[in-house]
Structure 1
Amino acid sequence: MSFSISAADLAAFHEDYAGRKDSAVLERAVTKNGVKAASFDWHSKADNDQHFSIDLSTGNVADQKQSGRCWMFAALNTMRHDMQQKFNLPEDFELSQSYQFFWDKFEKANYFYENVIQTANLPHDDRKVAWLMETPQQDGGQWDMLCALIEKYGVVPQSAMPESYNSSQSREINAVLNNQLRHDAVILRQLVQQNYAPTRIDEERRSMLNNVYRMLSYAFGEPVTTFDFEYRTKKDHEFHRDANLTPTEFFQKYVGWNLDDYVSIIQAPTKDKSYHQTYTIDMLGNVVGGRPIKHLNLPMDEFKALAVKQLENGESVWFGSDVSKYSETKLGLMALNTYAYEDLFDTELAMSKADSLDYGESMMNHAMVLTGVDIVDGQPTKWKVENSWGSKVGEKGYFVMSDAWMDKYCYQVVINKAYLSDDLLAAQAKEPVVLKPWDPMGTLA
């Protein structure tokens, strides 16, 4: 049965619109100011002030600029927070995001080639192949993907590999690089389909990777292999120089984390995902043979309790959320009452978190860092968030997230295993269930 909109229907819709006494007023307000401005509720600012019972000292906020590196910024920020405390580093100290960006794109190219070869005998319109070709590589990523890069390439301070035009504005290099990868995919698929020997295919792939390395070196600069680390301490301005370090040596000496201690916890209440079970995503990653994606799914109360425990112990928390929902950037607000869309349009918009994931209304699209929480009567009421959009938004770059907003739109935290109970450690050790490439838990921040 089909339904066609008739003239009678249109007349009835017009009559309902004209019969509402506030239609003309709202039409003027929304057409002039836009939906967000017309529905903004100033109470949300008063309800979510910048005062927290637990508030970590974390230095200046970084700026990812016109790039999708939030996951990388957030992860490196958690590490620099620790470094600043250990070594009395200045407020503006940062680890090089550009260094990680280069290696991420290089490894993603190889990961793409690997998946192209594995799916080469599927038709080009197969869903897996179409998914691969839609975005061969992008700026986004996951915590485990950064760990894989660090384990292979280490880290460097930003002074050793500063930002470039293309690291700060990645649209141009992404367009050319994805063109190159799709071009290469045609060749690799043909070689596999024509039954060329694996050695011949590897030879072609190596040539392709050489080409990608050269493109990325032009765009970001070739990554450093050794460097001198120089800095003055924050309090007494004492000068330090550590000469001729490799990126791996720098990570071991100045960060010193065992990355295996940090695990991804997700909050996915959909029917297809049991709690206290681990999950991975097919064809998602960056380093071939590197650390795989692995998530432990927990109920919201356990999810938040772990974040609180880590903050109480002085460690900031990497987290992923849907920052596009009910978020006011200039004021730095993430609260469900920020915009009264339902009141403005006299409609119902509410969906459960599970339905929002299943029906594409929400998914993780941005990673930030929890640096504080306000505990009242033993329960969190709001959270302090370090963003990576510079100091001109929020309170010098810091946002406030209401606890209700976290319940609805927060999907992932990274937790030190030291804060997991024995039962949760056992759950995290389970073999992961493999999800399809397009599962919402496979989206990249």
Structure 2
Amino acid sequence: MKDHRNSRGLLTRRQTLLGAGSLGLGVALSGLAAPAVRAQGSRPIRFLNCETGKDTLAFFASMADEYQTKTGIEVIVDSVPLDETFTKITNGIRSGAPYDVANVGYIGQVLMLADQDLIVPLNELTDDYKWGNNILFPIDDKVFWYPFDYNLALIYYRKDLYEGKGLKIPNTWDEFVGNSEALVEGRQRGSLFPIGSNGASNWMSFAFLWADGVKLFDDQWNVILDDDVMRPKVAAYLDFMARLYPTMPPGALQAGYSDVLSNLVAGTVGHAAYAGRVYEAAARDNPAMAENLDIMPYMDSSGANKAVSHGYDGWVVMKTDNTGPAMDFMRWLTTDKIVDFLHTAPVHFQPARLDIYDDPRWRDNALIKQFDGQIEEMHRLITDPSVILTSIDTQGPAPDVRPGKVLESFVMPEMLQNKLLRGMSSDDAVTAAAAKMREVIA
């Protein structure tokens, strides 16, 4: 394969994407060709959904019936878990029966689809609105997806225990460790941040680094985790996690999303990270605990900066012989029906579009009213330019698949494991992580 490089000696985005085999897909997209756009009729619109909550599935069934009644066009909704969606998208293209609209959960996958001319720009749906920070990921001013929500990982804490112990909201890592240690009492543990090689660790455990100004890449896509500026910061983070680890319940290595959620809802940990679904689950299963949980951003080592761990979901429109009707459907979904959709998980589906926060239809929801204060804080975190909003897969100078490769290789959780479980020095753990990052993006 010819090594296409730009004037700075960097691999071009196309060359990088053609060589990508990560982001939930075992094969690259380079063998896929966009279906020809032909005269468009009224064939069914095929919609791939990865939001599988009971209320969301019921919404899509009702929505499909309503749209067919309104337009005469059938909408066929297939629903699968997020980690299966990209394979479903590519299999549909290969089989000659592509989806018209699809739910995509990683920006690297959007980039791969756009680079192969398999999806169409959605500026006509996005340009009329204001959006939260770091969510549209434009490519040459073209927006190729419609982000419907943020899934920010925030730190939840037991405000009743804080009041009982006389604790203050921590601004530094030392203060956070001190509060976590103060909340260890019998079976009650001080904190839970996953350290296993899984998505939960990638999402929940590293925003402390972002708050402290750590970056994985420079503007030329060189790995800088172990340079003279980043290395001491990352080593200090590992030392901080080594102090925090004894406050966690047994099994942090195996902890996944459901374990963290269940511990928060049960109230067995003083601190843990998750998105808005915590409030929905607690309101349903443990209402007293729902009232005792509050949120805070991640803090840095010195008390200067705050961060949240990025998470997001969105829709793409595939380039098919049905793109015109699909765009008409998406216009209806993202205007007439967007509030109804967001209400299927009203706290978890944190709006990416800023006008929705002022929409009285959206505000007219029991859970949104119940957790109004927390929702206002979530709103602030995506609009305050001083809050660092990033994640492993959104690191780097521009949207790209290379951070996604780092995400899926679990380099960062392995760095934690080397420190906390294998007894490696912090410096050596940083060196090993940086070496593996260079290997996986090569």
Compute the TM-score of the two structures, normalised by the length of structure 1. Answer: 0.25
User: Which has a greater percent of strand?
Assistant: 1
Larger Rg: 1
Q: TM-score, normalised on structure 2?
A: 0.25
